[in-house]
């Protein structure tokens, strides 16, 4: 099993797909930015611009993955069946 667990499909996360070109994922607690970047780029065939990691109060780790300008987060969201 990889470091990516499942995408976040909240209203705020869906809004950020088009607004900020970002996808939000719950990742394993031991995941690093480098591991998330490598797995996400390999899995979806896109390039990432930035990754921010947040530890939540529910003892989870959230990755906010911003895609490069030439890729659309909406296309990735369709593959994930978020939209």
pLDDT given for residue 1 in this prediction: 59
Query: What's the pLDDT at 45?
Result: 96
Q: Residues 6 or more apart from 37 whose CB is under 8 A from it? A: 48, 51, 65
Q: What is the DSSP letter of 52?
A: E
- Name all domains of the chain by residue range, CATH numbers in brackets: 4-79 (3.30.70.330)
Q: How many CA atoms lie within 13 A of 45 on its CB side?
A: 2
Percent of the chain with pLDDT over 70: 99
Per-residue pLDDT reduced to its tens digit, 13-34: 999 999 999 999 999 999 999 9
Give residue-wise pLDDT tens across range 67-78. Answer: 999 999 999 999
Cα–Cα distance, 27 to 30 (Å, whole number) = 8
- Average per-residue pLDDT in the chain? 95
Residue 51 has pLDDT above 90, yes or no: yes
């Amino acid at each position: 099993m990889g470091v990516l667990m499942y995408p976040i499909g909240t209203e705020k996360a869906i809004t950020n797909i088009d607004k900020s070109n970002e996808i939000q994922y719950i990742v394993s607690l031991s995941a690093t930015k480098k591991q998330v970047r490598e797995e996400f780029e390999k899995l979806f065939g896109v390039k990432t611009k930035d990754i921010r990691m947040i530890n939540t109060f529910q003892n989870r780790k959230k990755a906010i993955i911003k895609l490069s300008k030439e890729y659309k987060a909406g296309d990735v969201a369709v593959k994930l069946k978020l939209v």
